[in-house]
Amino acid sequence: MLPAFFDSIVALITRTSTDLPPDVRAAMSHAVGAEEAATRAGQALNIIAQNIDQAASCEAPICQDTGMPTFEVKVPVGANQIWMRARIREAIAEVTTRGKLRPNSVDSITGENSGDNLGPGMPIVHFEQWEQPDVEVKLILKGGGCENTNTQYALPADLDHLGRADRSLEGVRKCILHAVWKAQGKGCSPGALGVCIGGDRTAGYLHAKEQLFRTLDDVNPDPRLAELEASVMNEANQLSIGPMGFSGQTSLIGCKIGVLNRLPACYFVSVAYDCWAFRRLGVRLDATSGAITSWLYREGTTPSAPMLAPELVAAGFPRTGREVSLQAPITEEQVRSLEVGDIVLISGRMFTGRDAVHSYLMTHEPPVDLRGGVLYHCGPVAVKETGQALAVPKPQSGEGGSGWKITAAGPTTSIREEPYQAEVIKRYGIRAIIGKGGMGARTLAGLQESGAVYLNAIGGAAQFYARCIERVEGVSLLEFGTPEAMWHLQVRDFPAIVTMDAHGNSLHKTVEAQSGEILDTLKR
């Protein structure tokens, strides 16, 4: 029964995780060309472009958060969907062991990581019958950071800076612009939106996500929606939120809108936000063998055209001569000399810590000395030197690390740690926090009180930052699973920008306020 089906799905997942489709590459190339190279936005996009090329060249994950795998499968009448679902699950587990997917499936009650990306509701597989002789499989990998920026509006509603949004396309326009403004850099902008007008709450979110299977350069067949999509693209990029929320010319690379009928009492606008690492591909399969007959969104297996010239990729981070080099451990004096906008290059020891680590540190002493240290909000893809991604070893505590390699290591969204961060900094003498998207007022006050800074790394640039890691020196709290463990890393010239300093200044607050003023002008 379809002897090549399993291998075809493995190939689809691998390619989706490691190589962006041409329409997304074209949109990002346009974004690169729109920014001055020496600006924060220009430097961020240069790193993103390098990362895209690096991931494709070594067939490694573009972003360490390989997301929630969502399959849309169309099959001929009579196809065995039960069998196909089982093979898709097996392919997900296999690709996870190869390190092409990070183990992301966590028990919602116990917090335990399954280690193979399987579990209730994961992966998501939607089947649909059609009257064609072949099988079509589409896949999107949408990460948790951009998933957290999804939003849903019930109209009529009052929106910050935009006033009342009524039950009309004008009200929908306001909702979409508000969603872009609210996301700022937390979803790894420049992003793309899938939008659904109508439906119920559940169907609306599903249909919004389905819009992300459209190519960025298509034109909506409904002229009313085509006009709205174009209007949103124009106005969203006037907000100057820019790459990573650093301010700039490109905040959005796509907006795709669909419509469902609704109940008279309900008018929902559902928005699915996807990041610049817009991983979406598909294949057509022979219905008798399961072999790939053609690729969707791209021309076969032809290597993607590089984003940058090879010499630019080889040159690494584009320096201006104004960068500040820091060697960890870092002193309070060094930290208090930094200001918002400074670019730093960190070398020395760095520790990762996400949700589980921060929760742990509120009730336990850290397994390492964090004084003067750098804490990186990162859930890496970690593999044994043999190449196998060992997701969740048997529970243990203490340190280890021999034989481990980090193959993808971009930042996660920091705002989730807001309830803990100021206290963790104060207790343990941490001098630098690295993440993406910025943090809130409590952390900003904590940075000022304790003498620490928040550094924004480039979201999604998992391959670029993995190359800044010289070695894994150890790992603690491995019982939390590899994404949530505390990894002890030795890094060299790890670039990031000071976006929250020890003087009470925040670039995130500034850009949010400035873009809010622009949003005021778009009320109509």
Peptide bond into 329 cis (omega under 30): yes
Fold classified for 319-510: fumarase (3.20.130)
Structure tokens at 135: 């099988």
Structure tokens at 410: 């971009």
The rounded distance, in Å, linking the Cα atoms of 76 and 134 is 7
Strand partners, 488: 351, 474
The separation between CA 180 and the C-alpha centre of its own chain, rounded to angstroms, equals 15
Short-list 450, 412, 473, CA closest to 330: 450
- How far, in Å, are 265, 382, 405 from residue 401 at the CA level? 57, 10, 9
The rounded distance, in Å, linking the Cα atoms of 505 and 3 is 60
Structure tokens at 229: 């999509």
pLDDT of residue 388: 56
Short-list 264, 298, 316, 438, CA closest to 49: 316
Q: Other CB atoms closer than 10 Å to residue 363's CB: what's the count?
A: 6
The rounded distance, in Å, linking the Cα atoms of 411 and 457 is 6
The rounded distance, in Å, linking the Cα atoms of 350 and 369 is 11
238: DSSP letter: T
In sequence order, what DSSP letters do the residues of 442-487 get, joined into one string?
Answer: HHHHHHHHHT-EEEE--TT-HHHHHTTEEEEEEEE-GGG-TTTSEE
Q: What sections of 122-163 are H helices per DSSP?
A: 144-147
Short-list 420, 429, 419, CA closest to 450: 429
Q: What sections of 326-428 are H helices per DSSP?
A: 332-336, 355-361, 421-428
Element (DSSP H or E) covering residue 151: strand 151-154
Domain spans in the chain, listed from the N-terminal domain onward: 1-142+278-316, 144-274, 319-510
pLDDT tens string, the chain, 524 residues long: the values are 899 999 999 999 999 999 999 999 999 999 999 999 889 999 999 999 999 999 999 999 999 999 999 999 999 999 999 999 999 999 999 999 999 999 999 999 999 999 999 999 999 999 999 999 999 999 999 999 999 999 999 999 999 999 999 999 999 999 999 999 999 999 999 999 999 999 999 999 999 999 999 999 999 999 999 999 999 999 999 999 999 999 999 999 999 999 999 999 999 999 999 999 999 999 999 999 999 999 999 988 788 889 998 888 777 888 888 899 999 999 999 999 999 999 999 999 999 999 999 999 999 999 999 999 999 999 999 998 765 555 444 333 334 456 899 999 999 999 999 999 999 999 999 999 999 999 999 999 999 999 999 999 999 999 999 999 999 999 999 999 999 999 999 999 999 999 999 999 999 999 999 999 999 999 87
Q: What share of the chain is helix, strand, coil (3-state, %, to 5)?
A: 35, 25, 40
pLDDT of residue 397: 36
